[in-house]
Structure 1
Amino acid sequence: MLSIRAASPADVDIVTEIEAKCFPPAERASRERFVERLGAFSDCFLILMKDDRPVGLIDGMVTDNRTICDEMFADAKMHNPDGHWQSIFGLAVIPEEQHQGYASALMRAFIEKARQEGRDGVILTCKKHLIDFYSGFGFVNCGISKSVHGGAVWYDMELDFRAAKVAK
């Protein structure tokens, strides 16, 4: 049985382990970084459970920036609970549970959470091969990001809820 639950600071080992299984060393957050993030914005973490076992996560701070900058990954104090944009730092499903729709379930839940909180939208960075995946949720590719996190080339993606309201 699948369920998605909010995280708490007590989940630091869970999120650290999932992240370590899913991201290369240069891109993953350390346990210390997760301690800081969970202390500052644990309400911006969701954990996917399968039969009472954690298999995925999604997280990111709230900001007034319309794009993610590298400083955000290092400084949890940049979280602004009253900000307009929900960022996504990581979307991860452990390898043995991938390709079953779990990442999509986490995305839908996180997007809906941001809508319910009255955010203007959701922002993220992704690698080129994931642009189509995120576009399927309504994200627009805003071009190559200024972020050089982990030495990779990233693309800024934005889901603007305000634009969706105008389009209706």
Structure 2
Amino acid sequence: MPRDLESEKMTLAGLPPLTKSPAQDNASVDDKDPGDKLMHDMQKGRQRDELHPLVQTLNPSYIDDCVKLENAAFAEGQRGSREKFIYRLTICGELCLGLFTTSESAPGHVATVSTSHIVESGAPERKEFLLAMVSATKTRNEFVSDDDMNVPSNWRDQPYPSNASVGHQEDGRTIAIHSLAVEPEVQGRGLGKTLLKAYIQRMQTSGVADRISILTYERLVSFYESVGFVNRGPSKVEYGGGGWVNMVLEFQETSNGPKKVGE
């Protein structure tokens, strides 16, 4: 596992202010007076900052949290299974990132309240709650495929097969995001974009891949374009009934090293 992708925590104070969230995209705001949009963005930023979000690499101790969040964020036919989270957080947890808030009580009726973790042994009343997550593997493909999303039947006996064609491919240079999930209770605060920007920056800096690929629906294409993804057309993936669009973000180099998100 790359050292710079281990479970260190990172606050998000240095990230730029955000606009729209993928889960609750209020397109009408863009049609209003620029002053109204500015006020809307400032309010969303304040709502996000009230949660004091931080990001942390996910490991197997967060399997229950991820399953709870996935089930709350997606319809039944589009949810990743528990087995998939066990597989991904065990085999390539360094590619999975969670956004948390810490407090003595949960922010509303969040799905992960029953799976919260104690932050410090000396302060058992203070807990961390998973509010958003990115779940991913690596692939040799440019676009996410059905096989990339599946779990190899023998992965426990052969966790990193050199000829893998199903699931995580360690030598792949494309990060395949399978889930960008935001807790419904806190949607509309920019947490999805906050996490995605942090994820892009971390993966690009680590050098573990050349690009990130994700599937989305047509209505969310503009959201992913706003952080640098390019629409590469309809996907052949049939998971969840199909109808997906391929979105790809290529990592770019500058004279000073990897280009930062938003440049």
Match of 2:168 in 1: 79
Deviations 1:104-146 (A, max 9, x none): 1110111112211222111100011110000001111001101
Q: Deviations over 1:16-72 (max 9, x none)?
A: 000000111111111122112212111111111012211110111012210000111
TM normalised by structure 1 equals 0.92
Matched-pair contact (CA < 8 Å) for 2:150–2:167: no
Report the equivalent of 2:145: 69
Aligned residue in 2 for 1:123: 213
The residue identity in structure 1 corresponding to 2:142 is R
Structure 1 counterpart of 2:178? 89
Q: Is the partner of 1:89 in helix, strand or coil?
A: strand
Q: Among residues 65, 69, 77, which one is paired with 1:18 in the alignment?
A: 69
Q: Report SS of the residue matched to 1:61.
A: strand
* 2:189 matches 1:100: yes
20 and 149 in structure 1: CA distance in 2 versus 1, 3 angstrom threshold:
same
Report the Cα offset of residue 95 of structure 1.
0.5
Q: Distance in 1 between matches of 2:254 and 2:142?
A: 18
Work out whether residues 149 and 167 of structure 2, in 8 Å CA contact, stay in contact via their aligned partners in 1.
no
Q: Quick check: which has more Rg, 1 or 2?
A: 2
Please list every run of 5 or more consecutive structure 1 residues that lacks an aligned counterpart in the other structure: none
Map of 1:143 onto structure 2: 233
- 1:8 aligns with 59
| 2:250 counterpart of 1:160 | yes
* 1:31-42 mapped onto 2 (5 Å cutoff): 31-42=82-93
Rounded to whole Å, the distance in 1 between the matches of 2:173 and 2:83 is: 27
Identity across the alignment (%): 29
Task: Identify, as 1 or 2, the structure richer in helix.
Answer: 1
Q: TM-score, normalised by structure 2?
A: 0.60
- 2:95 maps to which residue? 44
The match for 1:29 is 80
**Pairing 1:133–2:223 present:** yes
Query: 1:106 & 1:79 partners in 2: Cα distance?
Result: 22
Query: Which of 97, 101, 109 is equivalent to 2:198?
Result: 109
3-state secondary structure, aligned to 2:76: coil
- Cα root mean square deviation, aligned: 1.9
Alpha-carbon distance in structure 2 between the residues aligned to 1:85 and 1:57: 19
**Residue 37 of structure 1 aligns to which amino acid in structure 2?**
R
The number of equivalent residue pairs is 167
**Cα distance in 1 for residues equivalent to 2:88 and 2:206:** 19
Between stretches 66-75 and 132-141, larger displacement belongs to 66-75
Structure 1 stretches (4+) deviating beyond 3 angstroms? none
